[in-house]
Amino acid sequence: MLHQQRANAIGVAGKADTRRAAHRVALASAIGTTIEWYDFFIYGTAAAVVFGPQFFPRAGAGATLAAFAAFAVAFVARPLGGVVMGHYGDRIGRKSMLVWSLILMGAATFAIGLLPNYARIGVAAPVLLVLCRFIQGFALGGEWGGAVLMAVEHAPQDQRGQFGSLVSLGLPAGIILSNLIFLAATLAIAPTDFARWGWRIPFLASGVLVIVGLFVRLRVTESPLFAEALRAGRARRLPIVDVLRRDARLVLLAAGSYLGISALGYLVIVYFVSYATNVLKLPLTAALTLLLTAAVAFAISIVVTARWSDRAGRQRIMRWGNGLLVLWALAFFPLIDTRSIPLAGVAVTMMLVLQGAYIGAQPAVFAELFPTAIRYSGASVSMTVATIAGGALAPFIATALFNLTGNSSLITVYATAVALISWLSTLGLQETYRRDLSAHT
């Protein structure tokens, strides 16, 4: 009797230690992902506000379009980062890839803060800017999959949605952090000084954040599922080839389910700032404040729906979220075009809240879709394919469509179409929330 009680106590203590370790890993993943999204998004805000005249002055009226084209370069690099880091993440470990992704992202972002502009060094300025943006994209392409797998593969089976959502929280946290720093800089520095040098402050601040992120990430342990697969000799020689040979249809469905989320997300996070300030003539501080408020609601939506997905299933929530996004895409620009700040706030907030219904469950779903030996490659490629077709082009397409028509009508058609593709793709994905990842090899 006493022996059994002691064994039970040891078992309970062991589970508690495992849960605490899982929380530490998920928190480390979330902190690092927040920093990487911060780095990624400050470029988008700067592209909407200052990069056109600073780096592309000869483009004239098309300077903002050129800045958004450079913004899209990162998305071309993301699949390369996903393939390379996915390959090594499936062969030598998730943790090392997360450390490298953070170092690359931080170095590129800090370098942007030091870049001379076109007036100083001519055409070399935009070339170097594009190079730094490429490195940012490469780093982020490998970051997301590794962070998700570290959190989900450490998590208890019945809480994978909840633990994975901590990584997803890095997205709104990055939005909040980047916009807060930009907002503070615009309020503290005169507009002419901000355009000349003040915009560099958010990029240089990244150096401090990266040091913090590296300190946290270097202290976590490797994924237990991957470590077991490595011990059992299940590591693949070319995991990306195995993914495409075995699960190409699954990759396309997963990518399709995220396509509209990615496109609509960047319409809100990046294009909205440019559209609100340049077209509707709303104050920059108002646009950034609306985005900050919406990002807080976005974070709450992610947490709530992720917890719900652990109990009720993930596909049901994702399908409803994507279905409602199709309808909201129709209303988004008409609400903003009223030039009413409250209505614009409703438009932006609801767009991100509905996306939260998908993004809260997404990390767990993308991890659950693929076996351990090819999971990093499968999740990363699915994510990056969608971001190229969706988020990479969205601000550029929206700007071009507006220049073509002089209004937002075609942008609304585009937004609705990509949202519809995502909803249809989620209908093809199977439910995975009860899948045993240790058996899914």
- What percentage of the chain carries pLDDT values higher than 90? 24
Closest CA to 177 of 188, 165, 187, 169: 169
Sign of torsion over alpha carbons 17, 18, 21, 26: negative
Q: What is the mean pLDDT of the chain?
A: 83
Q: How many CB atoms lie within 10 A of CB 119?
A: 12
Dihedral pair phi/psi, residue 140, rounded to 5°: -70, -30
Please give, one letter per residue, the 3-state secondary structure of 366-403: HHHCCCHHHHHHHHHHHHHHHHHHHHHCHHHHHHHHHH
Long-range contacts of 280-284 (CB under 8 A, 24+ apart): 280/336, 280/337, 280/339, 281/339, 282/339, 282/341, 282/344, 284/49, 284/186
143: CB partners within 8 A, 6+ apart: 32, 33, 36, 81, 85, 98, 101, 102, 105
pLDDT band at 6 (very low <50, low <70, confident <90, very high): very low
> What's the average model confidence in pLDDT over 335-346?
94
C-alpha distances in Å from residue 394, one per residue of 73, 236, 259, 270, 301: 12, 35, 10, 9, 23
| Residue spans per domain, the chain | 9-427
Measured from the Cβ of residue 338, the count of other Cβ atoms closer than 10 Å reads 12
- Residue 18 is predicted with a pLDDT of 61
Give SS3 for 236. coil
Where is pLDDT greater, at 150 or 362?
362
pLDDT at 8: 42
pLDDT at res. 424:
96
User: Of 5-9, 240-244, 428-432, where does mean pLDDT reach its minimum?
Assistant: 5-9
Q: Would you say residue 264 has pLDDT above 60? A: yes
Look at residue 233 in the predicted model and tell me its pLDDT. 65
- Of 245 and 319, the one with more pLDDT: 319
Q: What is the pTM of this model?
A: 0.80
Q: Is the pLDDT of residue 1 over 50?
A: no
Q: Which pLDDT tens digit goes with each residue over 42-61?
A: 777 787 777 778 888 776 65
CATH of 9-427, one of 3.40.50.2300, 1.20.1250.20, 3.40.50.720, 2.60.40.10: 1.20.1250.20
CA 56 distance to own-chain centroid = 27
Q: Indicate if the pLDDT at residue 169 is higher than 50.
A: yes
Per DSSP, helices labelled H in 58-188 are 63-91, 94-114, 118-121, 124-154, 160-168, 170-188
pLDDT digits (tens, 9 = 90+) for 385-404: 888 888 778 888 998 899 89
